[in-house]
Amino acid sequence: MTTTTTTTPPGTVTPPSTPLLNRFRVPAGFALGAVLLLGIAPLALSDFRLSLLAKYLCYAIVAVGVSLAWGRGGLMVLGQGVFFGLGGYAMAMHLKLTDAAATGEKLPDFMQLYGTGDALPWWWKPFANPGFALAMTVLLPMAVAAVLGFLVFRRRVKGAYFAILSQALAAALSIWLVGQQATTGGTNGLTDIQGFFGYSLDDPVNQRMVYFVIAVVLLLLMALARQLFVSRYGELLIAVRDSEERVRFLGYNPANIKLVAYVVAAGMAGLAGALFVPAVGIISPALIGIVPSIGFVIGAAVGGRASLVGAVLGAIAVAWAQSTLSDEFPAAWTYLQGLLFVLAVGFLPGGLASLGVVLRRRRTRTGTPATGETA
Amino acid sequence: MTVVLNQSFTGISIGAVLLLIALGLTLTFGQMGVINMAHGEFIMAGAYTTYVLQKSISSAGISLLVALPLAFLVAGAMGALLEWLLIRRLYTRPLDTLLVTWGVSLMLQQLARDVFGAPNVQTAAPDILTGNISAGSVTFANNRLFILGLALLCVLGLTLVLRFTPLGRRIRAVVQNRDLAEVSGIATGQVDRITFFIGSGLAGVAGVALTLVGPIGPTMGTNYIVDAFLVVVVGGIGQLKGAVITAFALGVLQSVLEYSTTVSVAKVVVLVAIVAFLQWRPQGLYTLRTRSLA
């Protein structure tokens, strides 16, 4: 059964299940997710909660890429904030320009405030074009990832080095954005976004539309990632993660294999950033620096980095827990977040997705017969 | 000329701070392969040790002198505890140490916030360290000179320990070939803990030094940690001389760029320079030659 070839992180085993169940598991799960996201959630949730969910789904889109690059490829992508930010800023620049044009202004509000003169900076100008801006939300992150990835993977800089370099990139971008106050809005970022391609974001109906766009994009990207996982490329990616040297000896170039995963993950993060802007109405350096960049992998680690559904659910759950708990008990939430991370990564490397498997194995080991399907 | 000299001195003093912070990391990250994100919080522990001492010892000079060894012990003990509780289970998964210790660092930051409050605090510097020394047209700030001296002293001490003591020999043996060291009768687990103790202790010393140049706060560690890791990456794993050269080189580069451009542009250019450098020497400035393929 080719559908079970999705391999697992070290320390987990594929749950034994019947072939018939397997054949329908993935489409059935996908259909269930679609019904939940597109049917039940919009009916059951208030406008406010639905817009919160839209925000969490943006993090989930990043998690799809994290699951690909980190879970499958073993690339610890600690700088996803960079790509999220590039996508977010590309979108926000366009929306700020259309907002300004709608009110008859030549410049976005913050530029008038900081007084950089009358002229729009040259690198803002192309973003007035919606097609260009939309393309940039994905292409710009992918280009940055391609350059960094090419340089780093080609020279076989790997593991911790790659993680630290990608983290340093996140730090550098957010520091740079803060420093260029007149053209990027500095610490405040690009705020107070009013419209989304001509639709006012104040209108709850349009907010719902944004939610649907995000949910559909998430489902599509999950399907895409799933196809990548079961493809020949997905097998190669896992092979590179587990033994790069052997893959090299077999005649493949591991650098290219890793590069594709990194670039695709960057594109997904960029798209997530672009969708985040209309959903939340702001993009700022505080959302893309080192801390949020690590935040992007927290959810995936807790849910299960190698399991696509685990990573996505983990990202949603952690984001939800963060916004509900951090308002009421900020101190307690920080402790809990730290502890969650220590426990999930340190003691359950497969994340919560592997909990059932680990428990089942432990039960078998201690002699109690495992219930149901024993191998 | 004066500008050049002054900027170089600024660069060297930035480098000295970087060196102090990165020194502990060359042990824990470089030699043991553990990416300890809580290293920044051990720095914070050292800084708060100074702050607490100054509440009981009114003389700033004496409290600073007492703080140096005490901060080493406090931060070192925290490091050894962390190693014992968590890290020793993760030696086969070096990348995961980054995430686990990140969780620990979050908790330690919050702990500092709960104990000492969220706002930054300040310590008084001893009178000797507040002035300047002028040599011709160049001025040297005394506190910066002190940090430079302290950094060099730490390098010297660490070098002597690693080179000439039985403990140092055991540490080097474990780093170069853990399995062979184990079968030769070295208790590698114990060596790991002591190495971690020393590495974390050095972070505490760095924390004491940082109280002389800036405020003490729960997030002070985060500000330095990435730069310190970059120093170790560029210097080469576990290479003291690599760390020394890199720290000063990055410090001077940073200060020259900051002078000619802006702080934010300087950061980006330094990062680009590092990536470019790794094209030329992917393993860093100096490499430890081992027989392992990876």
Residue A177 in domain? yes
Q: Are A261 and A74 in contact (CB under 8 A)?
A: no
Across the A/B interface, how many CB contacts are shorter than 8 Å? Answer: 121
Tell me what pLDDT residue B177 has: 82
Query: Distance from A36 to chain B by nearest Cα, in Å?
Result: 32
Based on the structure, what is the number of domains in chain A? 1
Residues of chain A falling short of pLDDT 70: 1-22, 115-117, 365-375
Residue A62 in domain? yes
Residue A50 in tokens: 């639905």
Tell me what pLDDT residue A2 has: 40
Q: Is the pLDDT of residue B141 over 60?
A: yes
**A5 to each of A355, A375, B224, how far by Cα in Å?**
20, 17, 43
Residue A149's closest chain B neighbor by CA?
B275
Q: Are A266 and A143 in contact (CB under 8 A)?
A: no
Nearest to A129 by CA among A98, A158, A156, A84: A98
Contact B103 A345 (CB under 8 A): yes
Q: Which of B100, B102, B265 sits opposite A176 (nearest CB)?
A: B265
A 10 A CB-CB count for A135 gives 12
Q: Are B60 and B93 in contact (CB under 8 A)?
A: no
Q: What is the rounded distance in angstroms from the CA atom of residue A274 to the CA atom of residue A197?
A: 13
Tell me what pLDDT residue A8 has: 46
More confident residue, B1 or B148: B148
Interface of B with A (CB under 8 A): 29, 33, 35, 86, 89-90, 93-96, 98-100, 102-107, 109-110, 113-114, 222, 226, 229-230, 233, 262-265, 267-268, 271, 274-276, 278-279, 282, 293-294
Instruction: Decide the pairing of beta strands A195-196 and B132-135.
Output: unpaired
Q: What is the rounded distance in angstroms from the CA atom of residue A107 to the CA atom of residue A101?
A: 8
Q: Are B171 and B191 in contact (CB under 8 A)?
A: yes
Q: Domain span at residue A142?
A: 45-117+124-283
Tell me what pLDDT residue A17 has: 53
Q: Which of A180, A244, A341 sits opposite B100 (nearest CB)?
A: A341
Backbone angles phi, psi at A190, to 5 degrees: -100, 110
DSSP output for B225-247: HHHHHHHHHHH-TT-HHHHHHHH
Helix %, strand %, coil % for chain A, to 5? 75, 0, 25
Q: Is the pLDDT of residue B292 over 60?
A: no
Residues ≥6 apart with Cβ < 8 Å to B241: B235, B286
Q: At what angle do helices B220-235 and B2-25 cross, to 10 degrees?
A: 90
Q: What is the rounded distance in angstroms from the CA atom of residue A98 to the CA atom of residue B47?
A: 49
Residue A26 in domain? no
Q: How confident is the model at residue B294 (pLDDT cuts 50, 70, 90)?
A: very low
What SS3 class is residue A46?
A: coil
A 10 A CB-CB count for B106 gives 26
Tell me what pLDDT residue B285 has: 81
Element (DSSP H or E) covering residue B108: helix B94-116
Tell me what pLDDT residue B47 has: 94
Q: Which of B102, B229, B294 sits opposite A164 (nearest CB)?
A: B229
Contact A160 B33 (CB under 8 A): yes
Q: What is the rounded distance in angstroms from the CA atom of residue A351 to the CA atom of residue A318?
A: 13
Nearest to A156 by CA among B155, B165, B294, B67: B294
Q: Which of B194-208, B223-237, B261-275 has the highest mean pLDDT?
A: B194-208
Instruction: Look at phi and psi of residue A186 and say left if phi exceeds 0, alpha if psi is from -120 to 50, else beta.
Output: left
Tell me what pLDDT residue A368 has: 46
Return the exposure string of B189-209: e unless at least 16 CB atoms fall within 10 Å of the residue's CB, then b. eebbbbbbbbbbbbbbbbbbb
**% residues pLDDT > 70 (chain A):** 89
Contact B35 A180 (CB under 8 A): no
Q: What is the rounded distance in angstroms from the CA atom of residue A259 to the CA atom of residue A277?
A: 27
For residue range A19-44, what is the model confidence (pLDDT) as tens digits?
666 677 788 888 888 888 888 888 88
Residue A274 in domain? yes
Contact B294 A340 (CB under 8 A): no
Mean confidence (pLDDT) of chain B: 87
Tell me what pLDDT residue A155 has: 84
For residue range B82-129, what is the model confidence (pLDDT) as tens digits?
999 998 888 888 888 888 999 999 999 999 999 998 898 888 888 777
**DSSP assignment letter at A197:** T
Instruction: Decide the pairing of beta strands B138-141 and B132-135.
Output: antiparallel
Q: What is the identity of the amino acid at B227?
A: D
For residue range B53-66, what is the model confidence (pLDDT) as tens digits?
988 887 878 888 89
Element (DSSP H or E) covering residue A199: strand A199-200
Residue A28 in domain? no
